[in-house]
Structures are given as structure tokens and as C-alpha cells.
Structure 1
Amino acid sequence: MKINRTISGAIALTIIVASLTACGGNNQETIVAEQEKSIPVVVSKAMKGNIYQDVVISGQLKAENEISIIPKIAGVADVLSLNVALGDYVEKGDLLFTLDNGTLGSSIKDSLLAYETAKNNFDRIKKLYEEGAVSRQQYEQAQLSVSDTQIKALQNQMSDSYVKAPISGIVSALNIEKNGLAVSGQPSAVITDISVLQIEADITEKLINKVFVGKNVQLMIPVISDDMLDAKVSLVNPVPNSLTNLYKMKIQVVNYNDLLKPGMIAQIYFAIDESKDVFMLPIDAVIQEGTEYFVYIVEEGKAVHKTVKVDVDNGEYIEIVSGIKEDDDVIVSGQEFVKDMSSVRIIRGE
């Protein structure tokens, strides 16, 4: 009978152990099942910084200062000398070309002779007038005859035959040749200063009140490189074009290394709606439904719906004005799979 009691005790112990094992297995299975039901998410806290919206428009580089050289002549004149070629760089005051002055030289000589004769005559009349030998009328007539106005005019015409560069720059057009003709009213040459260039661009009514003279912008000239160049807004026309209803804007850029050339296409980047020292989130973390913007934060393993107020977005980040706290864990990946109070588990924090 002792053996039977021993066997009975062993059987009872086995049943107890088996029961405990079964209970432990059920608890583990429950935990695993709950984990399998929870949604994996990535969280991040809102970061603080500056955010602005970038606007990109295109325009073409042009010379800011370009002057056509039109000789001050009547009719046509022979080109006696030509000191420049197309593409040459010239300094202000350099002699470009010389035109035939025709009979100007002899005319000046005749005028100088007439002036000297009139002056000598006036000196004689003046002396007689002081002695009372001639009338005041004779004195005044002699005085009026002494004038170098005509001489100065002829000398100016003479100097006009020596055509000089009015500015420093590149000879960008040359329409005459040596021993050819220069024609009145037609440009003989064009001087283009490329040390400072400008870009003309059109902007819409949404931007006109956000762009002002002196505003800093950045340029990229794709044909040269992806590097950004600093530039400034030099003109904003507050009156729109009557046909396009667009507003004219000009950008000025200094051509420090002479790599920029008129005609090149530039991309203009400028910031609008800038906010400084504000909270930001990746734009994908914020969900929009109708007029409401909201995010999900994680609290005690649950996704909690939080309505937020937003402002500036730059396509990558968006400003959070209110609705969350600085230390909230905001779901930034996986939020499209959760609802309010969904069970979640954090697989990574950023």
C-alpha cells in the first residue's frame, strides 16, 4: 500500500507541474499576441529652429550698363582709324576710332583769325571810347563782335571726330571698319559693362508684397555650377503689366570672377514667410483632414490624437504653432496605420 501512495503522490505532482506550465505558456502567448496586435512606429520630438518657404523663379542675365556709340556727325563721315576689335575690353576714355572732320580744321582757322581781328578792333575802339573820340554805340557794337562762341562750337565738332569710350567694358558690337563710313544716327559700336549684371523676372500678386528693394536672394547658374551666389533685389515695379498682370522685378549680381555672361539662365531662390526659433516637425508627420491638422503622440503605449496649429512649411518641415509639448514623442513613421488609442510599440526614436 506504501507503493500505491507513492505513485498517487507522483501523479498529483505531475498534474500540478503540468498545470503551472500550461498557465505560464498561456501568459507568454498573451503577451506575444498583444505585441503582434500593436503597431510599430518611429517617434521623434519636435525640433526647434528657423524655417522659411523658398520660392524659385527663373530669369536671364543681362548687362546692367550698356551704351551704344553714336557719332555726333551730320550725314556720313569716313572712318580714318579704328583702334578696337569685337570682344576687346576698353577703359573709359580710350580712343575707339577717328572720323574725318572734313573742312573743320580750316573753318576753325578762319574763325580764329576773325576773332583776333575783332578783338584788336575792340581794343582800339575801347581806347578811343575812353578818350571820348567814339560814341557809346560804336563801343558796344565793337564789344558784341568779339565772341569765341563759334570757335568753341567748331572745336567741339573737331573733338567729336575723336570718338572715345564713355564707360569701361567689352566692345560687344562693332558696325564700322577702317576706311569705311560712319552714319549719323546709327550706332557705330556698343560697349557693354559685365562687371555688374542684372536679372529681370516677373512675380505674381501673391509675392509682390513679400519682395522689396535690398532683399537678399541667392542665384544658381546651372550651366556654370550648383553653387549659390549672393545677390540683391534692385527694383520692384508696384504696377503690373497690363497684359500679363505680373510685376517686374530686377536682381543685381556682382560678376566677381567674370564667369557670368549676359544671356545665361539663372534660378533665383528667395525666402518668404520666415519664422525663427520655432518648433518644427517633418511634414509627413502632420496629417490633414479637411481644415484640421493633427499628429499622433505616444502615451503609455497608445497613439493619442492631437490637433495642432501649423504655419510655415518648406516642403520638408512644417512649423507647429501649438497643440503639442516639447517633450512629446510624435509618431513620424507609421502614423498612417494608427487611430486614436491604437496600441503601438516604438521601434526607433529619432
Structure 2
Amino acid sequence: MKKGIIVKLVLLVLTAATVLAAAGCGLFPKEDNIKAPALKTPKPVEYTFYQVVKGDIIKGSSGTGSMTSIYYYKHAFPSSGGIISAIHVSLGQYVNKGDLLVETDNSSLELEYLEATIDYTESKDKFDAIAAQYNRGEIGETEFRIEQLKFQYVETKYRNLKNAYENTKLVAQVSGKVVYINTEYTTNTNKEIVAGETIVAIDSADEKYMYLVFDKSVEAMKDSSATPQQFRVGTVLTLSLNPTKADPDPIKFEGVIVGTDQIIKDTGIGYIDTAKYYCKLTSYPDYGGDESRQITSGTLIRYTYVEDSREDVLMIPLSACYEYNGKHYVYMLDYSTNLKKEVYVELGLANETYVEVVSGLRKGDRIITG
């Protein structure tokens, strides 16, 4: 009996297995047919090359400075009182020595001064005649002394009025550019004149005081390798005016860096700003009568300073070199493997763009720059 039951169970299991096999994967989720990704050929590495050439390397600096007068004359009235009636100049205006700058209301003095001038002229002629008579012994000493006192009175009155009248005007004591006008007198027309207070200042155009000036940046004062260059006294600069369409290649001229002690000696000025470089022009460009190209206070001038130079040397871009453990290298392409390789190079003079190659490369070699 048991045997029959076992046989039936075995048949049942086999039947179920057969059914499942016939059903296949229909009883389970069907998997997608995922294809393997296609193989891609990698793009070849592309490099930027530079072909080693021969040329000239110049190390130096260039920039712009301005012509500056280091001496300016302050114009002020010697006595207080009165009100300015007119200021006849403006900032930046060029004036000549003797030009009228400022005047006050002198209408009350003008007539008195004119009368005193006439009296003085007449009295002087009269006294000169009496002095001649006295010298010839034609009149006595008492009469001469009386006439002398009369003339001295007229002369004193005349000179006092002359000083007062002249003090109602300020005239330029130097030729040059107006660099300062006291705005207290231009904005307040009722302000009384204060003795000694500067009203107009003029930069002297005297060549003695004219220098090409460059500011020393903070970086330049801290680091001698900074630009502008730490110029030494005696350094000669090549100079030119800024190029224009009409003058694309300006005339070259020269100047020399001078020390503040020499400037003090040459000009007699007691204080010189040590935070500036001073260049004294040793020659001037000849532009004939072209006033637009004349050098005056404020003229911008370009300078070029050559510290060192090499002619006909191998040269490569400075950016193509790198340093490791105190040695310099460039990259070149190994054509057998198409990979970069390091090449040791000995370098020489360099400027901001190029560097001289002393050894390690030849003319025509191609180095990788990017």
C-alpha cells in the first residue's frame, strides 16, 4: 500500500516538473536583451608646438612719465585788506613773467597815485635845479636844506602811494603753468585779502627746474625686481613722445636718472620728494615750430630702459619652461610613443616673454607649449 502511494507521489512530482519546463520563463519576468557598448577609438592627444628660433632678446622696462616742474612760485599780497576785483588767469593756463594775475579794487588809489606821480616828477626837476645852484655856490645851505626837505616829503608820499597801488596787483614772477588758484577768493567775492596767503601758484617753466618724473610704487620700493625698475643714479633712458597718427615713430632723445642730492645742489631747493625717480633730459627732440610736440610741464613722455641684451641666440617662450629641483625643463614629443618627454635645458637671459636657451635644444626643434 505504502509503495503505491510513493509511486503516485513520484509521478506527481515528475508531472509538475514537466509542466514547469514546458511553461519556460513565462512564469517569471522577461529580461531585456542588453547589448555590450560599442568600442570607441580614443581621440589622439593634440599639442601646441613652438619651433625654436634664433633672435634678439632685450631685457629692460618701458613706461610713461610726465614732465614736472619741481619748483612753483606762490603769489600773495604783502599786506592785508582790500577785496579782489578780478583774477585774470585759470588753472592750467601758461603765463609769462610780468603777466597780470590778480588785482583788487584800486579806484580810490588810482587818482591819488596819478597826482602823486605828477607832483614827484615836478618836484624832482625843481630840486635837481636847486641842487645844481647850490653846487655852484649861487644859493646858501639853509635855502638848499629847506628845498631838500620839501622834496623828501613829496618823494615819500609818492613812494608810499606807489607801493600801495602796486600792491593792488599781482603779476607773475616766473613764466610757467598756473597750478593753483585759491578758491576761497573765487567763491567768496567779499573775502578780505590776508597778507601772505597764496592766491595763485605757478610751476616755473625754467629748464633748471624741469624733470621727467616717475612715481616709485610701493612694490618697487620693497622689491628691486618689480617694475618700474629700481633705476640707479646715472642710468640713461631712451625717451620719446607718445606716438600719434601724424607722428607714429617719434624722435628719440635721452635723459639720465639723477639723485635728490644733485637736484638740491643744482636748484637750491631744500626738499625733494624721495618717493619719485627724477630724470634730467640731456637732449630735446627738434619738432621745429610744431607747438603740439613741444615739451612743457605736463607733457607725457615714454621711456625705454635696456638692462641687458643678447643678439642672435636660441629663444623660446618663457611660459614653455618649468623648474624642478633647481633645473629647467621643456616638454617635447616622443614620436615613437606619441607621448611627452622631459628635456633638460640650460637657460640664459630672460625678459617678460622669451628666454635664451644656452644648451639642450637646437634651432628648428619643436617644443610643446600647450
What's the TM-score once normalised by structure 2's chain length? Answer: 0.50
**Shift of residue 123, structure 1, vs aligned partner:** 0.6
- The residue aligned with 1:22 is none
User: For residues 34-113 of structure 1, what are the structure 2 equivalents within 5 Å?
Assistant: 42=49, 44-54=51-61, 66-71=72-77, 73-79=78-84, 81-82=85-86, 84=88, 89=93, 91-92=95-96, 93-99=98-104, 100=106, 102=109, 104-105=113-114, 108-109=117-118, 111-113=120-122
Q: CA deviation at 1:213?
A: 6.4
Residue 185 of structure 2 aligns to a residue whose secondary structure is coil
- Percent identical pairs in the alignment equals 13
Structure showing greater Rg? 2
SS in 2 for 1:121: helix
Query: Quick one: distance in 1 between partners of 2:292 and 2:82?
Result: 40
Q: Deviations over 1:254-305 (max 9, x none)?
A: 99599xx98xxx9988545341424321113333223323446679969684
TM-score normalised by structure 1 residue count: 0.52
- Quote the residue 2:134 is aligned against: 125
Find the aligned partners of 1:281 and 1:294 in 2 and give their Cα distance.
12
2:171 to 141, 164, 170: 164
Q: Distance in 2 between matches of 1:94 and 1:38?
A: 76
Rate the CA distance shift 1:235–1:74 in 2: closer, same or farther, 3 A.
Answer: farther
Q: Please say if residues 105 and 158 of structure 1, whose CA atoms lie closer than 8 Å, have aligned partners that are also in contact.
A: no
Equivalent residue for 1:319, pick from 332, 356, 368: 356
Residues 89/238 of structure 1: CA separation in 2 closer, same or farther (3 Å cut): closer
Pair 267,331 (structure 1): closer, same or farther in 2 beyond 3 Å: farther
Q: 1:279 to 1:217 in 2, by over 3 A?
A: farther
Give the Å deviation of 1:119.
Answer: 1.3
Question: Secondary structure, in 3 states, of the residue corresponding to 2:175?
Answer: coil
- Cross-structure match for 2:369: 333
Q: Does 1:249 align with 2:271?
A: no
Report the CA distance between 1:180 and its aligned residue. Answer: 5.5
Stretches of structure 1 lacking an aligned partner (at least 5 in a row): 1-35, 221-226, 240-244, 335-350
State the 1:84 CA deviation.
Answer: 3.1
Aligned pair in 2 of structure 1 residues 39, 75: CA closer, same or farther (>3 Å)?
closer
Which of 177, 194, 199 is 1:183 aligned to?
194
Q: How far apart are the structure 2 equivalents of 1:319 and 1:287?
A: 14
Q: CA distance change for structure 1 residues 89 and 284 in 2, over 3 Å: closer, same or farther?
A: closer
2:124 counterpart residue number: 115
Q: Does structure 1 retain, via aligned residues, the 8 Å contact 2:237–2:303?
A: no
Partner of residue 215 from structure 1, selected from 226, 237, 245? 237
8 Å Cα contact 2:318/2:354 also seen in 1: yes
1:275 paired to 2:309: yes
Q: Distance in 1 between matches of 2:304 and 2:164?
A: 51
Among 336, 346, 352, which residue is 1:308 paired with? 346
Aligned letter for 1:77? G
Contact 1:236–1:248 at 8 Å: present in 2 too? Answer: no
Over 3 Å counting, the alpha-carbon distance change for 1:153 and 1:228 in structure 2 is: farther
- Distance in 1 (alpha carbons) for counterparts of 2:301 and 2:175: 29
1:124 Cα deviation from its structure 2 partner = 0.1
| 3-state DSSP of counterpart to 2:215 | strand
CA pair 76-38 structure 1, distance change in 2 beyond 3 A: closer
Structure 2 contact 332–368 (Cα < 8 Å) conserved: no
**Selected match of 1:287 from 322, 340, 362:** 322
Q: Which amino acid aligns with 1:273?
A: E
Matched residue of 2:198: which SS? coil
Q: How far off its partner does 1:60 sit?
A: 9.4
What runs of 5+ residues in structure 2 fail to find an aligned partner?
1-42, 243-247, 262-272, 286-290
Map of 1:26 onto structure 2:
none
The number of residue pairs the alignment matches comes to 271
325-334 vs 273-282, which moves further: 325-334
* RMSD after superposition: 5.8
Matched AA of 1:76: G
1:55 Cα deviation after fit: 6.8
CA distance in 1, matches of 2:211, 2:135: 61
- Number of the residue aligned with 2:31: none
TM superposition shift of 1:116: 3.2
8 Å Cα contact 2:91/2:178 also seen in 1: yes
CA contact (8 A) 1:208 1:238 kept: no
Picking from 215, 237, 240, the partner of 1:201 is 215
Distance in 1 separating the partners of 2:241 and 2:326: 36
